[in-house]
Structures are given as C-alpha cells and as structure tokens.
Chain A
Amino acid sequence: MAGLVACSNGGKGAEPSAGSIASAGASGTAAAEAHDPFGKYEQPLEVSVGKFLNLTDKTLPAGDTPTNNQFTRYLEDKLNVKIKAAWQAGGDAYSQKVSVAIASGDLPDAMVVYSYSDLRKLVEANLLQDMTDTINDYASPLIKDIYTAGNDAALKAATFNGRVMAIPASQGLADSMYMMWIRQDWLDQLGLQPPRTVDELENVIGQFIKTNPDKAQNPIGLPAGNLYGMTNSFPTLNPLFAVYHSYPNNWVRDSEGKAASGLIQPETKEALGKMREMYAAGLIDKEFALRKDPFEPIINGSTGVFFGPWWMGFTPLNEAMNKNPQAKWKAYLLPLDKDGQFNTHVQSPANMFYVVRKGIEHPEAIMKMVNVQTQNELGLDPDAHMDLKVDWVNEPLRAPIAYPDSIEKDSEKVHEALDGKLPVDKLTSVQKRVYDNYLKTKDNPTADIGGWSEAFSYVEGAGQLLRSFNKVPSLYYGETETMTTKGATLGKLQQETINKIIMGAAPLDSFDQFVKDWKRLGGDQITAEVNEAIK
C-alpha cells in the first residue's frame, strides 16, 4: 500500500511516458513485491464482466460454457479470480448492451469496449476508474514492452486530461494494410503479368471480364463494398487512392504544415477522377454501392481481383476455394505509384479498451487478468496447456494485446522455418500450427479448409508485408467533440458525393463544392480541434 502511495505521489501527474513506467517497474524490491503483476489472491475474488460472445462459435468442448471453460479455469487457478457474467451478448446486441450500460450508468466491474467513441462516452459520463497508477504498478513487463513498441500510442489513446482511463488493447497494424488479391491462374492462362500500374490494372480487369475464365454468369470489375475503410472492411479501393497519395481516413499535413483531413485533399480528387473513368468503362463493379453481399462475386468467380487485408484466407477466399479448388489466389503489394512505390495507410493500434467500473475495490485484479491472458495468448506460459482449437473469444474479457508487428513477426518466422533457416522447435505454438497447416494444405486446400485459411493468410497474405513499402500513419486517431456531434452528417455528405462522382451522376468538379460544404458544416471546426489535440 505504501508503495502505491509513493508511486502516485512520485509520478509526474502528466500522462505516463515509457520512461515513467520503466522506472516504476524497476523501483525497489519492496514495491515490486507489493505490486506483483501475477500475484494470486488468498481469498477468492469475484469479478463481474460484460461478456462478449461469438454466437457462431462451436469450438467449446461439451459441458463448457462461455463463462466456464479452460480460460476461466486457468485464470482462477492463476489468480484465484472467479468470473461472473453480469450479462452476455454477441454481435450488435453487445454494443447495444454497452450503450445501455453507458446510458444507465450501471456497469459491470469490467468489460471491453470496441470503439474509441464508447470509451469517450464512458469517460464523459464519469463512470470509469482512473487506471493510471494501476497500469504503472501492475502491468506486466510484457505488456509494458508491447505498449512501448507501439510508441505508447495505445496509452495515449486511452488518456484523458493526463489520466489513463482504461487498459488499452494493442492490435497488430497489419489489418489496416490493404493489398491486391488476384487470380494467378487467370493471369497465367491469359499470358499476363501482375499489373504494376493503374493502366496495367485496367488492362488486366478488362481482359478478365472479356474472357471470363470461370464462365461466371455476370463478370464484373473491381468489387468495392466500402470505398476506403480504415481497417478490416473490404473489398475497398484503398490501394487505388494510395496510388495518388490520397488517404481519405488519415489526418495529413497540408501545404501549410497543419493537420488536415486526407479526404478533402486534391489527391483525392485526382483518384476519384480515375475511378470515375474506370467505373464508366465497367472496370469497377457497376453495382458496388448497392451490393448487399460484396463477397459473393469473389466467391463465385465473377471477379478475379480485389483489394483486402492480409487475412483474406479466413474470409472470403476459404469459401471461394471450397467452390473452386482449382483457383490460385495470390497477393501483391500493387499497383505502385508513379515513383514505383506501394503506399498504404495504417490504423491506430488501440481501437479496443478494457474499461473498469469507477469505485471498484480491486482495480488491479483486472490488470492482472489482462497480464495473465496476454502471456497465455502469446504462448509464453509453458504450464498453460491450452487446447488451441478453442476460440480465444471465450476468454472472460477478450481484446488482444499484441506487438504492432505481431502478424508480420509470426509470418516471418514461419517463412524462415519453411525455408529451413529456422529449426521448427524454435517456433511458438501459434507459429508451429501455421507451419504444420501450411505443409498439410498447400497442395490440397480443401482437405482441411480451416487449416488452409490460417496458413494461407499468414504465409501468402502476411508474407507480402515483409517486403518494404510506404506505411502512412494518421496524425490523429481519436474522436473530437465535433466529430461526435457532426460526424454523421459529414459522413453522409461524403458518401453521397463520392458515390455520385464515381458513378458519373455528378461532375468531378462537384468535389470542390463538396470540400466547401464539408468545411462549412463542421469540417473546419473538427480540423481546428484536431490541430489543438496534436499540438
């Protein structure tokens, strides 16, 4: 207890830098003993959680439940912490439960929020425990190291008025890097090279549609379920925007050196001009804005090229392979800009947060749970004996804390093992599984499509990310006051305008009017707030 007081007095009171965390960890053995990140409670401690469910999960063995399974038993064994679900929900119902919890002020001891805006609402409503000191004192060295590896972006995202108000998760950045997925067998059949420029891409799509190698009923151009999603929504046209150095989701430096929305830059107009041409020529799916299921044309062979992140093996290519096991999908970091470089935006590592109810007696219990879970997830506890087939979503609270480049790291090790440069017994449990599955399924994907999904994604998709290319981070990832109040109106305006421009229903120059409207209707205010926030 004394150590805790000393720490909070000794802290600088501002947001914790990597330095202050490290020094807290290293200060005096007495303090270290008092703050054991893995210390087991003598009396059983009950923690109520808002439990997120994967409603389609079928991996739990008979008799186990989302609140009583290998992960909860492991936690009980390690910390003497018993989990009680205050409520359980999956999918949209979960976010509704969170909204209700925020609105009513009735929070479980801990839950995970899956968006920054939920975190912001909770902090505004003054419902959250200040976790600054708890993280300082109780976060395991592993977690501190992961935060540091991400330049403390995660901690900063959870910081309000100098206090860290949640335990931030920290994801790999790979999910936000979009690449080109293409049917290599179609390219070979037509004697084409992978398209390196937009012109070549247009040619390839044109040939694909003309020859229609899979004899699809309605061959289409590039599918685009979402034109420029930040992360994990696909198929998008992100790489096409990036060819013109347009990053609509990012905050970029304008000509005066101030932060400005990437959406309203002249580069975006240039990119839209090209897409408009491509749409008119049928090289972008004519129905891109109407399609209810954008994966369908990929699965049924109507298109042989689309843009998505590294994990396409999990969805939709697993289904596409089931349908046509002869297909050869390949990933490329293409097309390139005029300097021959591949560009992509990258997301914030922190989009999810473990939040703790204000006034909880043992806030450090939640931190310890996160310590134990993270160590287990990264395969670093040799005594854990987890059945890897069970979905991690069954952990009491699930938001991954991983190194920003964890996907690339795993892929790199697997590649080294496949090339014989690394002994297989040096692989972590996750990497070993990918390695085994790759060998098992590379010639016969449909023999074990589940295993293929993961192996193909890591080896083929994440393998591309090991090359060198230009990653463009945003200057700001948070949400300002005016974004909350006016973001929806602006979003609608941009969606309408940009769809119309691409579909030829409005002239390209209507973009200029859009920029004016966007600024007038709140964009200028948002820009000022962002500049204030990053000062």
Chain B
Amino acid sequence: MRSKGDQLSYHLMLGPGLLVLLLFSVVPMFGIAMAFEHYVPSKGIFHSTWVGLDNLRYLFQIHDGKQIFYNTVFIAVMKIVSNLVVSLVFAVLLNELRLRFYKRVIQTVVYLPHFLSWIILAGILWDILSYRGLVNQILGVFHVEPIMFFASNRWFPFIVVASEVWKEFGFNTIVFLAALTGIGPALYEAAALDGAGRLRRLRHVTLPGLTPVVILLATLSLGNVLNAGFDQIFVLYNPLVFESGDIIDTYVYRSGLLDAQYGFATAVGLMKSAVGFVLILASYFLASKFANYRIF
C-alpha cells in the first residue's frame, strides 16, 4: 500500500492548496515590516523610513490603545456567551414542541435575520432606538425622559450584543437542534421507563448529551475573541460612542484607510494578531482537553 508513487500523487494534490496558502497567507506576512516603518506607498517597504518600535510605543501611549482592546474583548466575549446561552435554551425549548409544523415555522422565522445585511438591520434598529424612535415613544407614555441609545456609552455595547444575538441565534439554534437529533431515542425511552418526567429527562439526558457540542463551540469561538464584528459596529457606531464601541478592526480601518497611517494601522493589526495567536493556541489546548477535538 505504501509505495512511493501513491504518496507522490497525494502530495501533488496538496500542491495547489499549499500554493494558495503561500501566496495569500505567508507572503503578505512580510508586510508586517510596515508596522515598524513610517510607510509611504510610493517608496515601498524597502525604502520607507524605519522607525523601529515607534508605532507600537505610540499605540500604548495613547488612551485609544487600551480602549479598543478592552472594547473588542468585552463585546466579543459578551457576544459569544449570549449567543451560546440564548440559542441553547431556544433549541431545547423548540425541541420540546410537539407540533412539528410549529417547530419548523419558528425555526425558519428566527433564522431569517441571519440573511439580512447589517446595513438593513442598522436602519431598522435606528428607527426603533433613535431619540424619537419607537422605544422612546413608549417610554414617553410612562413619562420617562427619552434615552439616546446611540449616543450613550452605557447602552451602546449592549445594543451591539443584543442585535447580534437577534441576528445570529437562529443559526446556532440549528446547530444545537442537529446535535439534539443525535441523542439516541433509546436513552429517552429508558429514562421514561425508569419514571423520569420531562424535566428530569431534560436534565439527565438532553443537557449531558449536548455538553460536548457546547464545549466545542465555546472553545472554538475563543479564536474569535478579537473579532467583535467589524461590519456591524461600522454601521452602528458614531464618534459619540467610540469610547465604548470602537474596536480594533474599526480603528485599523479608520487609521489605515481613511487617515493613510499605514504603518501605525499595521502595528495595531499586528498586536491583534499576536494576541489572537495566543488565544487560538489556548482554545486548541482547551478543545483537545475537554472536547477531544484534535487537528493533528
């Protein structure tokens, strides 16, 4: 079986994939040099002024530096946790529905926002939450002063998280529903015979059956802790909530593309990659330990 000819053909098949990886993931890494330069495009990487660690030093010197990392982690962690909890609860509840028709309809309806773009959802949110929007009009009935949700650093991160959950929990629900079908009906029957009611079956059969999936999803999403959702925040934020809503990606976009601070923006991006790398290692370690998930 292990003749050399066999292996060669496999290796050849690997070739195109590796080439793409090399071209798009390895070669651009040399661009990291920009993080240590006062980069001017027309001069190129080799002729721009070398400034050493100046860009990184400036990042740590300004208040923005700490803030964007804090905001990113805060928003992303909240999103990961709420997405897991909401969709898990929802999947379990949906699973208990007896009418399959209702189950299907509800599943589809909550899944729908997943397909809408953030531009559209932002418009809807704006109408609901603006100064004279729906929510404030209702609050007005109870003589509550209108709240500027999009100008308030207290509210903004939660609006971001809640709207993300609204958009995405339907998708995760489907993952959990799939896992639910994987739990053998024999277990339920056995539990029922032993006299377990619905709640006990839920506690002792359903939840333990879902644990590996939950752990897997949670640990894998650790690698995303530094991705708090550029397109969502980009359409929702404004200068008033930079303090609580500006994340690494939006910051890199503004400083790199709008203000042409290529070197500085690269430095910020590099910091993100460095931290992200550590987190991915950690999540892989955790996943292999608790969920038996291995790449190699």
Contact = CB atoms under 8 A, between A and B. Distances in A.
A455 interface: no
A125 interface: yes
Given A104-B42, A289-B239, A489 B62 contact: yes
A280 interface: no
A127 B38 CA distance: 18
A105 B132 CA distance: 50
Nearest to B149: A290
A286 B62 CA distance: 30
A493 B62 CA distance: 10
Contacts of A218: 132
Nearest to B41: A103
Interface stretch (B15-23, B72-80, B179-187, B255-263): B255-263
Contact of B40 (A124, A286, A496): A124
A496 B254 contact: no
A496 B131 contact: no
Nearest to B132: A218
B288 to A, nearest CB: 41
A484 B63 CA distance: 19
Contacts of B62: 489, 521
B61 interface: yes
Given A485-B38, A488-B254, A289 B132 contact: no
A105 B239 contact: no
A76 interface: no
Interface string B143-156: 00000101100000
Nearest to B254: A488
Interface in B1-55: 38, 40-43
Contacts of B273: none
Contacts of A126: 42
A484 B62 CA distance: 16
Contacts of B264: 485
A503 B151 contact: yes
A290 B148 contact: yes
A487 B259 contact: yes
A496 B238 CA distance: 10
Interface in A417-437: none
B259 A290 contact: no
Interface string A94-122: 00000100111100000000000000010
A492 B242 contact: yes
Interface in B236-284: 238-240, 242-243, 254-255, 258-261, 264
B255 A496 contact: no
Given A290-B151, A485-B261, A495-B239, A521 B61 contact: yes
B42 A499 contact: no
Nearest to B265: A488
A214 interface: no
B166 to A, nearest CB: 22
Interface in B210-243: 238-240, 242-243
Interface in A485-532: 485-489, 492-493, 495-496, 499-500, 503, 517, 521
A125 B43 contact: yes
A233 to B, nearest CB: 15
A521 B65 CA distance: 12
Interface in A269-290: 286-287, 289-290
Nearest to A218: B132
B40 A125 contact: yes
Instruction: Report, as a range, how many residues of chain A touch the other chain.
Output: 20 to 34
B42 A105 contact: yes
A496 B42 contact: no
B255 A488 contact: yes
A127 B42 CA distance: 9
Contacts of B259: 487-488
Interface in B113-159: 130-132, 148, 150-151
B151 A121 contact: no
B41 A290 contact: no
Contacts of A99: 260
A125 B42 contact: yes
Contacts of A484: 260
A105 B258 CA distance: 19
A289 B151 contact: yes
A84 B130 CA distance: 49
A500 to B, nearest CB: 8
Contacts of B148: 286-287, 290
Contacts of B61: 521
Contacts of A517: 63
B206 to A, nearest CB: 45
Q: Which of A104, A124, A489, A495 has the most CB of B within 10 A?
A: A489
Contact of A499 (B63, B132, B239): B239
A290 B64 contact: no
Contacts of B260: 99, 121, 484
Contact of B239 (A103, A125, A486, A492): A492
B294 to A, nearest CB: 44
Contacts of B255: 488-489
A286 B242 CA distance: 19
A121 B40 CA distance: 8
Contacts of A103: 41-42
A488 B261 contact: yes
Given A99-B260, A290-B151, A488-B259, A496 B243 contact: yes
Contacts of A105: 42
A496 B38 contact: no
Interface in A15-36: none
Contacts of A125: 40-43
A91 to B, nearest CB: 15
A126 B47 CA distance: 13
Interface in A59-103: 99, 102-103
A289 B131 contact: no
A529 to B, nearest CB: 15
A409 B88 CA distance: 72
Nearest to A122: B42
A286 B131 contact: yes
Contacts of B131: 286-287, 290
A104 B44 CA distance: 9
A290 B150 contact: yes
Contacts of A488: 254-255, 258-259, 261
Contact of A492 (B38, B41, B64, B132): B64
Nearest to B38: A485
Contact of B41 (A102, A286, A489, A493): A102
Contacts of B41: 102-104, 125
A289 B238 contact: yes
B240 A499 contact: yes
Interface string A366-409: 00000000000000000000000000000000000000000000
15 contacts: A99-B260, A102-B41, A103-B41, A104-B41, A105-B42, A121-B260, A125-B41, A286-B131, A286-B148, A287-B131, A289-B239, A290-B238, A488-B255, A492-B242, A496-B243
Given A124-B42, A126-B42, 9 more contacts: A125-B42, A125-B43, A218-B132, A286-B148, A290-B130, A290-B148, A484-B260, A499-B240, A521-B61
Closest 10 CB pairs of A and B: A103-B41, A125-B42, A488-B259, A495-B239, A105-B42, A287-B131, A289-B240, A489-B62, A290-B151, A499-B240
